[in-house]
Structure 1
Amino acid sequence: MSPVSLRRWGWIHKWSSLVCTVFMLLLCLTGLPLIYSHEIAHLLGNEVEPPALSTPMPPGNVDAVIASAKELYPSKKPMFISQEADVPEIWNVTLADHMHDHDYKPIAVDARTTKVITEPAFEGGAFMSTMLALHVDLFMGLPGMLFLGFMGLLLLVAIVSGVVLYAPFMRKLDFGTVRRERSSRLKWLDMHNMLGIVTMVWLLVVGATGVINTWGDLLLKYYQNNELAQILHKYEGQAPLPHTASVHDAIETAKKALPGMRVAFVAFPGTDFSSEHHYGIFMNGSEAFSSRLYRPVLVDAHTGELTDAPELPWYLTALLVSQPLHFGDYGGQPLKLLWALLDIATIVILATGLYLWLKRGKAAKAAAKAEAAKTMTAGDVPALARGQEAS
């Protein structure tokens, strides 16, 4: 590679890295506790455990579950109900005045006895909800998500340009060499390069999936205005009828439509995951990875009849696949530990990159001052000589 090309790639790597470094550090620092969100919620006492029963009981009626939750807040409406695959004894009911109400009321209800267990902390408590908001949108909603997505794209550019620059560097040294006997700056440069190339594939995966996740709201809106709108064409222009169909029966209808799958969550009419006329019942598989891939079933909320069980389009499937890959929460504790270690390594990469840039700036300023002093000294010699001659 020619020196001109190297300088061009160096400029790309330098500025793409510098622009996104602070935000990537923030995402790494907030992402670390999110990897262990369940464990932290448990330590903070925010994880809900199903009550122990003296005798085993089958699941109760879901309508009774919803009624128990509504007794606490009669004026609010159910927005969602959900179940964790590993805790089928609990239904999580979310109540609110409307879809975009910020005063959500999450309520955990025993799926067997249909009695309220507790009102858990929203999003796992204040600490975890703050970490999640900072990681997802910087408390700025869609603009914040898109901004972080742009920072993610810059990270991908920085990774690719870093690999291009590392290729000629590798011809001079053995892989993984850290020249500890040389200057401090050179040692940290070697550490930065070594960690960067070791974590390259992981960074590409996490960076790319993070960018895809920031487009989630836009992809969902596109789906609603296109594929979903075509499915619901016959309801166009019709006022919603009273939602009199049993949620319990709607779930049973969904199970019959997709045998072998389980209910992950139910979106009520008027929410972003359904229509004004339907219960959106989202089913998934039972395996670690397939449990993150949803299949929607639309059941008429007035008649209780099945409307459709469409396959999700490829772009929503890509979004759903990107989420477990981004957080590494589909492979148990070993994968979580690997994700955490790679996250810490990335923090070191970003910190050393910032250190090297600051150090290089100081070195350049010192060199400029030395050169200026040298030039000034050389320029003073003739004047001094002329002064001696005059005397």
Structure 2
Amino acid sequence: MSMAKSIRLWYSIHKWTSLVCTAFLLTLCLTGLPLIFSDEISTWLDDDPPYAVLPANAPLADLDHLVDVAKQKYPEQIITSAFMDDDEPQVIIGLAPSWKESEDTPDSNHWIKFDSRTGQILEESKPAAERSMNFLTLMMRLHIDLFARLPGQLFLGLMGILFVLAAVSGVALYGPFMKKLEFGTVRKGRSSRLKWLDLHNLFGIVTLVWVLVVGFTGALNEFSTPLFALWQRTDVQAMLLPWQGAPPPNPKEFSSLQEAVITAKRAVPAMTVLSVSYPGGRFGSAYHYLIWAKGNTPLTSRLFSPLLVDARTGSLTSIIKMPWYLRALEVSRPLHFGDYGGLPLKIIWTLLDLITLVVLGSGLYLWVARRKAQDERVNRLIQRLNATSPIPIDGIRETA
């Protein structure tokens, strides 16, 4: 392929991938800005009741007691999960009318928040009709699925892939178009469009690595639901073959949650047990507690290991080795949000996000300006031809 044809091909790829994804990428960049600081904003907006003032080494409440309290308040419902916060002294118990309703009608899910030391109820989620969406939830839903759930996730995943293609094709064009100019040149003495073209190229090449990382990891995150479904249908089902055909335990047969968590901690002593999914969930087992543990360093704290504990006997069934695609998904999350290196990295991520907004906005401006310039050139040509032709050219164009 000749150089001219290659450039035309890359130009077409860059133009159309950019045009298709730009509006959605602008939305993702804008909503991503507050999500970078989600922890800080959550603390700032937090109006929950204060925790009891206790010594740092105060013993934790028994998880079985917290589950019993939740059951007493909602005797007709099931426990779906338990979350043991490792940052705040709280335990959140999830409930639902049934697993079917939990999956078919997500608004039926609710929770009770306990002080993890005293066992006192701190807060309960409001009924679905009374719930109001807070700022961070609004930003997260727009960022993840545009309020369209799985179809929205898959669509934004496709936009992420187009974004990566736009970046790669931009690199392919950068060399031929900028080879006669020094790096970083911005031609200010010419037209406004030319100045913005130089800025677009400069900011695009400077943020290239970040754009590729964030674009690829963002697209990967959007495919998390089908990836977990694949894991459920393959690896998890293979592990559950010994229980195939056996009746699952009913809630009255469940062993102690407290003992299940202790068993998991003994199995992975270098990790922190974070949450438990009760038997019956879509992405778990009908026969086991699915317990999630995470590492204790800034990077490994984003890497999770699931364990299966028999819900009847409380014995450890297995420590599950996550498949490569879920490991890649886990690694992609901190890279995407830049929340594993403290406030300095968050500030860097914010600056790069703002520069990317300029790249996207300038690209849209350049396309509009180019079309406007082309229309003006056509109009000037028609005017010149009309001035020399006995038959109006624009009249011919209208009747053609």
Whole-Å separation in 2 of the counterparts to 1:314 and 1:75? 40
1:339 deviates by 1.0
Aligned to 1:388: none
In the alignment, is residue 38 of structure 1 matched against residue 39 of structure 2?
Answer: yes
Aligned to 2:368: 358
Per-residue CA deviations over 1:210-237 (Å, capped at 9, x if unaligned) read: 1111111111111111111111101112
Aligned to 1:241: 249
Whole-Å separation in 2 of the counterparts to 1:22 and 1:184? 23
Per the alignment, do residues 169 and 39 of structure 1 end up closer, same or farther by CA in structure 2, a change over 3 Å counting? same
Aligned to 2:387: 377
Q: Which amino acid aligns with 2:206?
A: V
Per the alignment, do residues 84 and 335 of structure 1 end up closer, same or farther by CA in structure 2, a change over 3 Å counting? farther
In the alignment, is residue 262 of structure 1 matched against residue 272 of structure 2?
Answer: yes
Q: Which amino acid aligns with 2:18?
A: S
Per the alignment, do residues 71 and 181 of structure 1 end up closer, same or farther by CA in structure 2, a change over 3 Å counting? farther
Per the alignment, do residues 46 and 360 of structure 1 end up closer, same or farther by CA in structure 2, a change over 3 Å counting? farther
Q: TM-score, normalised by structure 2?
A: 0.90
Aligned to 1:109: 114
SS in 1 for 2:281: coil
Paired residues of 1:41 and 1:47 also in contact (CA < 8 A): no
1:48 deviates by 7.1
Per-residue CA deviations over 1:333-368 (Å, capped at 9, x if unaligned) read: 111111111111111111111011111111110110
In the alignment, is residue 92 of structure 1 matched against residue 127 of structure 2?
Answer: no
Aligned to 1:153: 161
Q: Which amino acid aligns with 2:86?
A: A
Paired residues of 2:274 and 2:292 also in contact (CA < 8 A): yes
SS in 2 for 1:380: coil
Aligned to 1:193: 201
SS in 2 for 1:307: strand
In the alignment, is residue 138 of structure 1 matched against residue 154 of structure 2?
Answer: no
In the alignment, is residue 334 of structure 1 matched against residue 344 of structure 2?
Answer: yes
Per the alignment, do residues 77 and 319 of structure 1 end up closer, same or farther by CA in structure 2, a change over 3 Å counting? same
Per the alignment, do residues 361 and 48 of structure 1 end up closer, same or farther by CA in structure 2, a change over 3 Å counting? farther
Whole-Å separation in 1 of the counterparts to 2:161 and 2:331? 19
Equivalent of 1:213, from 221, 234, 244? 221
Aligned to 1:384: none
Whole-Å separation in 2 of the counterparts to 1:112 and 1:364? 70
Whole-Å separation in 1 of the counterparts to 2:50 and 2:198? 48
Q: Which amino acid aligns with 1:215?
A: F
Bigger shift: residues 228-237 or 167-176: 167-176
Whole-Å separation in 2 of the counterparts to 1:350 and 1:71? 54
Per the alignment, do residues 74 and 332 of structure 1 end up closer, same or farther by CA in structure 2, a change over 3 Å counting? farther
Equivalent of 1:276, from 286, 291, 294? 286
RMSD, aligned α-carbons: 2.2
Percent identity of the aligned residues? 45
Specify every segment of 5 or more residues in structure 2 that has no aligned partner in the other structure, as ranges: 392-400
Whole-Å separation in 2 of the counterparts to 1:324 and 1:48? 30
Whole-Å separation in 2 of the counterparts to 1:186 and 1:63? 68
1:189 deviates by 0.9
1:4 deviates by 2.4
Q: TM-score, normalised by structure 1?
A: 0.92
Paired residues of 1:46 and 1:120 also in contact (CA < 8 A): no
Per-residue CA deviations over 1:305-332 (Å, capped at 9, x if unaligned) read: 2111121111111111111111111111
SS in 1 for 2:285: coil
Paired residues of 1:48 and 1:108 also in contact (CA < 8 A): no
Q: Which amino acid aligns with 1:349?
A: V
Q: Which amino acid aligns with 1:275?
A: S
Per-residue CA deviations over 1:26-45 (Å, capped at 9, x if unaligned) read: 11111111111122222222
Aligned to 1:290: 300
Q: Which amino acid aligns with 2:262?
A: E
Q: Which amino acid aligns with 1:271?
A: G
Whole-Å separation in 1 of the counterparts to 2:81 and 2:228? 17
Per-residue CA deviations over 1:4-25 (Å, capped at 9, x if unaligned) read: 2212211111011000000111
Bigger shift: residues 225-234 or 67-76: 67-76
1:94 deviates by 2.0
SS in 1 for 2:390: helix
Paired residues of 2:305 and 2:321 also in contact (CA < 8 A): yes
Whole-Å separation in 2 of the counterparts to 1:190 and 1:124? 45
SS in 1 for 2:107: coil
Aligned to 2:66: 65
